Amino acid sequence: MLARFFSLAAVALTLGTLASCTDVVQVELPEPESQLAVEGNITDQPGPYEIRLTRTGAYFDDKTPLAVRGAELTISDSQGATETLRETAPGVYQTSSLRGRIGNQYTLTIKADGQEYRAATEIKRVPQIDRFEQQHKVGQPGWRDGYYVLYNGPELPGVGDYYRFKLYQNDTLRNNPDELIVRDDALVDGKYIGDVEMTDRPFRIGDRVRVEVLSLPRDYYFFLTEMFTQINNVGMFSSPPANVRTNIVNVDPNGPKAVGYFAGTAVRSATVTITP
């Protein structure tokens, strides 16, 4: 007991010392050059598809990003089709009749603020979902009591497939930083993926849970993993923040850069309603 007391006293003294020498430092960063930010996808599901254009701001700026209005956007595919998007809200541009297809390549062209940008992507193959079912856990070490969901389905033969898994609870995407789930097939190529828990957070009776599996182009997979790293880059020993990669390229190599991503994905989904 005495040893425990001294251990606690030492901890308290250490914490007190650390607290006494803590200063608040105001970091002044140079005002960055505003850049075009692009966010958009094309899928093999029925459209319309949306592209959002905004301007970046300062690192500590918590204002709503400024929408880029009046831009000219087109999407062309490898089959020779081209469609011009229309602005449906400030900075939001939509397709009307274009339909994404697995195996097709797509090029997005943006003309905004006197600059022209392009991005290329492809819609890759995606596996089917065999079963999506619930599991009730009670008294299991490391798990809270409640209902969980299990994914079952094949992985396509041939290394080089990349996926993202999305979970929706009552039609709302579960979007916590640790719920950005992206995987490659390096260790599971061609195998059956069975009874995989999709999250460690339980659901409630009556919840309608939907899973989506999205195929990803290789570079988009690394974009998402870099974004995951930056989102979760917190704590005393975190690395300095850095921009993630982008596939938005200014046709003028000396012109202003852009950030964001235009990605092609194929989507498969399954739904289960939690019951007792």
Q: Per-residue pLDDT tens for 102-135?
A: 999 999 999 999 999 999 999 999 999 999 999 9
pTM of the model: 0.83
Which range among 30-39, 80-89, 116-125 shows the weakest confidence by mean pLDDT?
A: 30-39
- pLDDT digit string (tens) for 183-209? 999 999 999 999 999 999 999 999 999
What share of the chain has pLDDT > 70, as a percent?
Answer: 84
Over residues 35-49, the mean pLDDT reads 97
The domain limits of the chain are: 36-125+242-266, 131-217+268-273
Tell me which amino acid residue 209 is: V
> Is 96's pLDDT higher than 70?
yes
**CB hemisphere CA count around 203 (13 angstroms):** 27
Q: What tokens were used for 158?
A: 């041939």
pLDDT band at 28 (very low <50, low <70, confident <90, very high): low
What rounded mean pLDDT belongs to the chain? 88
pLDDT band at 231 (very low <50, low <70, confident <90, very high): confident
Query: When comparing pLDDT for 104 and 239, which is higher?
Result: 104
d(CA 212, CA 171): 12
d(CA 176, CA 194): 24
Query: When comparing pLDDT for 240 and 187, which is higher?
Result: 187
Q: What CATH class has 36-125+242-266? A: mainly beta
CA 189 to the chain's CA centroid: 23
